[in-house]
A and B are shown apart, each in its own frame.
Chain A
């Protein structure tokens, strides 16, 4: 029944001419600022190619790719083995940039930059630290006068790679988090308000006094939201920046697996920012439409070379050279 209707509609739509190569993609909001910049710049350089990217969240990117409603997806969490098996077709991961998820907050009257220990962060997101002046938070911040106000936790309401990175990190540093909540693109949050997309979370933090949430670095920067530094595995408090995120990837860059699926949260290294991650484009291993295939391959090659210059103004760290070179070879594998 639905086939008939579908075909009837298909018949109508095939009759209409398309004058450009239209490619549709969807997924992560974490790299959305850089992706929308890239697709805009690429369109200017190649007017016949139009890549429409909708930032619906990493979960959405994976889902829509599996349903084949988009030409490629994007995610900040690598796809799980069983998801890849379920797909029924080959899916390749291409890291594009590096970013960091930052604990961003809005505390009226506090302008100092807060320091967070992993324990404090886990306690806040588990709902165990419910006031800003909780000793777990104020301990590492002597001299900052934290108010006795309720903490408003803000998290994602959609399937999100930023959530994946955040919960991946919390699972590594907190046993209680790992067993109670776990890591995924969406989890069963113990506390908090849900916002849609990194945009929505940043919007909620900005509008809600005494709130804390996690967003990709650029969303905090672009919206002038304060964000704290984190105690990394070597015991140093590190703030997210191009350098500290790059430092987090240094180890992984040398031992990058062939499928590029790697987690770099809580890495070793004194300068490394602990909640850093690659973000990936999810490209089907085989693309039927020759025009789309060549356009996508050409875009990937452009992104790995000239595209990288747009990263730093938007606070994303460039791909390590070795990784970019390794990806160039993988691009050739798309058929």
Chain B
């Protein structure tokens, strides 16, 4: 990262009345104020967003209190609303996504950072970045027409035969359901894990690796026992970042999750995620309490991703800055 000369003092402006006049005359003060206003627009938008979610969910918050979070009934007829099935569905699908994406992504990142020659690695990373740019609705399209039939006719029957004795793989084979949604999410978050983990691994100082190799470690041992532990915090960061993305993912999940607010142990069963219920029901909630409950769900989702994002950035910052400190 480039460390730049910061702000006024570095640019060589003295403070004082004469300098102030000069700055106003030269348009500097005007430019500073104008750009400041635009910078503050960003803060204003974020504040408004939180304010909107908070005030518009007031009715549901007062009616249900914190019990909203662990009540599992979602019944618009009798005006009973609880977030649990959606929180559950969101967490289960995201966890499934991570379970598949983390080993895959980490493996690929290790290959790109440690094994592949630099030019090949850069080219492949370029392709990975393209994968990250594929719109969510495209994943949904492929999910509906390719993955769902494949799940129903091949993957789910096989899983049921092999692991049907556990509660996780029982019940009718819909094709659609939590497992399918988790798979789609895995594909969607893999590029993020790869590109962030690769950056973090590349930031690990070379002597870590060389020291291990000098002690007679194989290439793999040096990577796994010296380099990866060193980058551990940053890799965790990339995982949190991917998780935050998975939690908020809307379209692809909506199209394959089955949209049923019921908690079932089986991964074959249809579920529902917070983002999916918002996409389906937000513009159509007839009652005010119903609408307010949906907005409260939005608030819950916002808070979840907010906390995870914060944590992720902190972790990445910790490793990359430690890396660069050791290097210099």
For the complex, what is the distance from the CA of A151 to the CA of B173, rounded to whole Å? 10
Nearest CB of B to A212, in Å:
12
Contacts A63-B291, A207-B149 given; indicate if A186 touches B281 (C-beta within 8 A): yes
Of chain A, the residue at the smallest CB distance from B75 is: A188
- CB pair B77–A60 under 8 Å, yes or no, is no
- CB pair B75–A63 under 8 Å, yes or no, is no
- CB pair A157–B152 under 8 Å, yes or no, is no
Answer yes or no: B237 CB below 8 A from chain A CBs: no
Of chain A, the residue at the smallest CB distance from B260 is: A194
Contacts A157-B259, A183-B77, A194-B270 given; indicate if A207 touches B175 (C-beta within 8 A): yes
Nearest CB of A to B237, in Å:
34
For the complex, what is the distance from the CA of A193 to the CA of B171, rounded to whole Å? 13
- CB pair B280–A152 under 8 Å, yes or no, is no
Of the stretches B199-207, B225-233, B242-250, B282-290, the one at the interface is B282-290
Chain A window 180-216, contacts with chain B (Cβ cutoff 8 Å), 1 for yes, 0 for no: 0111111111011111100000001001111000000
- CB pair A193–B77 under 8 Å, yes or no, is no
- CB pair B174–A208 under 8 Å, yes or no, is yes
Give the interface size class of chain A: 35 or more
For the complex, what is the distance from the CA of A191 to the CA of B259, rounded to whole Å? 11
Residues of B within 8 A of A151 (CB): 172
Q: Which residues in window 47-88 of B have CB below 8 A to A?
A: 48, 51-52, 73-78, 80
- CB pair B175–A208 under 8 Å, yes or no, is yes
Answer yes or no: B148 CB below 8 A from chain A CBs: yes
- CB pair B259–A195 under 8 Å, yes or no, is yes
- CB pair B48–A1 under 8 Å, yes or no, is yes
Of chain B, the residue at the smallest CB distance from A150 is: B172
For the complex, what is the distance from the CA of A181 to the CA of B51, rounded to whole Å? 35
- CB pair A182–B284 under 8 Å, yes or no, is no
Nearest CB of B to A184, in Å:
4
For the complex, what is the distance from the CA of A28 to the CA of B106, rounded to whole Å? 47
Contacts A56-B283, A150-B172 given; indicate if A186 touches B259 (C-beta within 8 A): no
- CB pair B73–A209 under 8 Å, yes or no, is no
Answer yes or no: B267 CB below 8 A from chain A CBs: no
Residues of A within 8 A of B105 (CB): none
Q: Which residues in window 66-92 of A have CB below 8 A to B?
A: 83, 86
Residues of B within 8 A of A209 (CB): 152
- CB pair A60–B152 under 8 Å, yes or no, is no
Contacts A150-B172, A193-B176, A204-B176 given; indicate if A182 touches B77 (C-beta within 8 A): yes
Contacts A56-B283, A192-B270, A209-B152 given; indicate if A184 touches B77 (C-beta within 8 A): yes
Contacts A57-B284, A158-B284 given; indicate if A193 touches B260 (C-beta within 8 A): yes
Q: Which residues in window 259-284 of B have CB below 8 A to A?
A: 259-262, 270, 272, 280-281, 283-284
Residues of B within 8 A of A86 (CB): 288
Answer yes or no: A62 CB below 8 A from chain B CBs: yes
Answer yes or no: A133 CB below 8 A from chain B CBs: no
Among B52, B173, B272, B280, the residue within 8 A (CB) of A196 is: B280
Answer yes or no: B97 CB below 8 A from chain A CBs: no
- CB pair A159–B260 under 8 Å, yes or no, is no
Answer yes or no: A329 CB below 8 A from chain B CBs: no
For the complex, what is the distance from the CA of A211 to the CA of B258, rounded to whole Å? 13
Nearest CB of A to B108, in Å:
32
For the complex, what is the distance from the CA of A59 to the CA of B76, rounded to whole Å? 11
Q: Which residues in window 100-116 of B have CB below 8 A to A?
A: none
28 A-B pairs whose Cβ atoms sit less than 8 Å apart in the complex: A2-B52, A57-B284, A59-B284, A59-B285, A59-B286, A60-B283, A63-B284, A63-B285, A63-B291, A64-B283, A150-B172, A157-B259, A158-B281, A159-B284, A182-B77, A182-B78, A184-B76, A188-B73, A188-B77, A189-B260, A189-B262, A191-B260, A193-B174, A194-B259, A196-B259, A207-B149, A208-B176, A209-B152
Q: A63-B286, A193-B260, A196-B254 are in contact. List 13 more A-B contacts (CB 8 A).
A: A1-B48, A2-B48, A2-B52, A56-B284, A59-B284, A150-B171, A150-B172, A185-B286, A186-B76, A188-B77, A188-B261, A196-B280, A208-B174
Residues of A within 8 A of B (CB): 1-2, 56-57, 59-60, 62-64, 83, 86, 149-152, 157-159, 181-189, 191-196, 204, 207-210
